[in-house]
Amino acid sequence: MAKNFLPDQYERTQVLGINHNYLHDQFADVDAILGKVREVVVQGDFTLGRAVDRLEQRYAAMLGARFAVGLNSGTDALRLGLIAAGVKPGDEVITTTYTFYATIGAIVTVGARPVFVDVGDDYNIDPAKIEAAITPKTKAILPVHWSGRPCLMDEIGRIAAKHGLKVIEDACHAVQATFDGRFAGTLGDVGCFSFHPLKNLNVWGDGGILVTNDEAIANHVRLIRNHGLIDRDHCEIFSFNSRLDTVQAVVADHLLDKLDHITATRIRNATALDQGLAGIQGVRPPTRNARLKEVFHLYCIECERRDELQAFLIGKGIDAKVHYPIPMHLQPAARDWGYKVGDFPRAERLCASELSLPVHEFIRPDQTAEMVARIGEFYGSARV
């Protein structure tokens, strides 16, 4: 029987001194946020209220997009984005097997089939493998900017244009990340972001937002997020309830003022980890690409004896995590699609060797040094 496993998970990790969870610090100014929420309560402006409009306008302006539409989750941003881009039951959508479950769930729940492609050494979908996966049923490509590292969008865009495909970006990890100076989420037809509590820009529950430069897509998403209503009395199309709550929009809008600091601090911490881990035998961070600005929702490394290292670090009070141990094509939910072990070897090796270290904006320099020291201790400080 499926049950809520999250409370036990939170309890297990909260005792660790260097932790992935930073929400207590993130919302230490809770009284300032509650003051803004009080205005919503007084106005009774709970559903698609003024704060949602304000957030949408600010978010679009920040990314240089024409339109932004607030939704109730990053997952629904993907689902509604696929629908608005014309993906229908029976279509195929090419995507990576190395991602979070929501990417695939969004494709499946609109009636389409995910077609998986292996990743490159950057952990993202390998553009060189996309064209071989295209069939007459292919409608879209869904690249995932994993961990806040943008995909190679110039090549993906070229392939999409050549074959007449839509590009829906899963940018749920990648707010303020850039490729060649352009923001992730604005490089395809649709960009999808999450405001989940552990994202770089987060709220007090679930929330998400979709950006696009296509007015028809924006209008369609606005329609289908609110039951298909064109006004109080007329329903254009029977649809979903995927509205971003006004209260959550207030929280996201409050955090927008801190986002530049959040991004800069995560980059600083990741740079310190890169430098400290350089040359430790048994550890390999991804090679950085000067064309990209990574925003490090996660700081991922590949390492030998991964499970042993993870247990060692947790024993030293460091919340090392695996994101994620099983690729999507080998999940129980994918059993009917006929994939098998060995189909996507790079992703499978990554799932067996990846480890994530805390990198958020409340990690101090002494804590990055502690993580480096402990990893060096585990590997005997052996250097390449």
Order of strands, sheet of 190-194, starting from the edge strand that comes earlier in the sequence: 67-71, 208-212, 190-194, 166-170, 138-142, 92-96, 113-117
Give residues with Cβ within 8 angstroms of 68, minimum separation 6: 55, 56, 57, 59, 60, 209, 210, 211
If pLDDT is split at 50, 70 and 90, which confidence band does 13 have?
A: low
DSSP state of 131: G
Average pLDDT over residues 353-370: 98
Instruction: Report the SS3 class of residue 230.
Output: strand
Rounded to 5 degrees, φ, ψ at 19 are -120, 145
pLDDT digit string, tens, across residues 18-70: 999 988 898 999 999 999 999 999 999 999 999 999 999 999 999 999 999 99
56-83 in b/e form (b: 16+ CB < 10 A) is beebbebbebebbbbbbbbbbbbbbbbb
Average pLDDT over residues 325-346: 98
Burial zone of 174 (CB within 10 Å; 0-12 exposed, 13-18 middle, 19+ buried): buried
Classify domain 8-25+258-378 by CATH number.
Answer: 3.90.1150.10
Average pLDDT over residues 105-116: 98
Peptide bond into 324 cis (omega under 30): yes
Classify domain 27-256 by CATH number.
Answer: 3.40.640.10
Per cent of the chain over pLDDT 90 is: 92
pLDDT at residue 2, rounded to an integer:
72
pLDDT at residue 4, rounded to an integer:
74
CA angle 306/271/200 to nearest 5° reads 85
Contact 40, 246 (CB under 8 A): yes
Average confidence score pLDDT of the chain: 95
Tokens representing 39 are 């205005």
Radius of gyration (C-alpha) of the chain in whole angstroms = 21
Domain(s) labelled CATH 3.90.1150.10 in the chain stretch across 8-25+258-378
Query: Taking the alpha carbons of 110, 128, 98, 197 in that order, is the dihedral positive or negative?
Result: negative
Rounded to 5 degrees, φ, ψ at 7 are -55, -40
Contact 199, 173 (CB under 8 A): yes
Q: Smallest Cα–Cα separation from 157: which of 197, 130, 133, 188?
A: 188
Q: Smallest Cα–Cα separation from 226: which of 43, 48, 46?
A: 48
pLDDT at residue 384, rounded to an integer:
44
Let me know how long the chain is.
384
Output 383 or 316, whichever has higher pLDDT.
316
Domain(s) labelled CATH 3.40.640.10 in the chain stretch across 27-256
Average pLDDT over residues 341-348: 98
Cα–Cα distance measured from residue 381 to residue 384, given in angstroms and rounded to the nearest whole number: 10
Output 286 or 212, whichever has higher pLDDT.
212
Instruction: Report the SS3 class of residue 41.
Output: helix
Statement: residue 229 has pLDDT above 80: yes
pLDDT at residue 368, rounded to an integer:
98
pLDDT digit string, tens, across residues 285-302: 989 999 999 999 999 999
Q: Smallest Cα–Cα separation from 292: which of 129, 147, 164?
A: 147
The torsion angle over the Cα atoms of residues 256, 259, 260 and 262, rounded to 10 degrees, is: 160
Average pLDDT over residues 296-313: 98
If pLDDT is split at 50, 70 and 90, which confidence band does 383 have?
A: low
